[in-house]
Amino acid sequence: MTKTDDLFSTALRYLGVYRLYTRVLESEIKGGPMPKHIGVILDGNRRWAQERDYPEWMGHVFGADKVESLLEWCLEYKIHSLTLFALSTENLSRDPEELKSIFQIIENKLQKLIDGHYVHKHRVHVKGLGNPDILTPGVRSRLEILEKESENYSDLYLNFAIAYGGRMEIVQAVRKIASEVSKGTLDPLSIDEKKFSEYLFTSFLPEPDPDLIIRTSGEVRLSGFLLWQSAYSELVFMDVYWPGFRKLDFLRAIRTYQSRQRRFGR
């Protein structure tokens, strides 16, 4: 057997095990409670590329491609809302050339959604969460097009948290509330948790609070992602870089979610 034959045989064995384990996971989660809203912190693009001696920007390209697979899995398992943490306000302090590449990749993916039939075929409601004023004109304009074209869809809510920070979101909500109170259009005594949530970026969602938050790359923190909304979210931290995230990992996260008892403080 040649070296090529040996590698091919190993690949076939791996695919067989992978498919078998995937089927096992599918059977295990079948009939269990499914999360309605999943948030994903897309982490590890650069480290994935570095370990393969690729330029760092290639990690972002492969990471962006992986989002397409995630969307298919969410549709397959009838997840109603998906919020992706793609770029934080803190990330904007990175090297300008890297940021230029990231924004161009995001712009290209958004344009692909505009040009294709995916959004309309699956009735996907697209929304950007964050500060649009600090996005590049190309990203901002494409998000606006997608938001307008999909505003009446509700089969899947796809939210891109770009130039987003949880603290920033809360501060902006407080400012809006303070402005309405000062104008006399809002009674301070009417402000409770439900009322406050109406001023957050996720207020339009049927399920504004994610049931499950997944973070890839092995890091164990939220990094400001949906700070208010995640108070009772189930958190799953996975030791796999985002470009290497597989359907198998997605199913494992859901199985973990199903294994937990959600008491909501009760």
Query: At residue 234, what are phi and psi to the nearest 5 degrees?
Result: -85, 130
- Please identify which of the residues 5, 6, 43, 108 carries the catalytic annotation: 43
- Catalytic residue check, 43: yes
Token pair for residue 105? 């990749």
Tokens of 145: 């097009």
Residue among 169, 257, 153, 255 at smallest CA distance from 212 = 257
Rounded to 5°, the CA angle 49-18-58 comes to: 15
The active-site residue, picked from 91, 108, 131, 249, is 91
CA-closest candidate to residue 132, choices 124, 121, 142: 142
- Which helix or strand (DSSP H or E) is residue 26 part of? helix 3-29
Q: Residue 1: helix, strand or coil by DSSP?
A: coil
**Catalytic residue at 65?**
no
Supply the residues annotated as catalytic: 43, 91
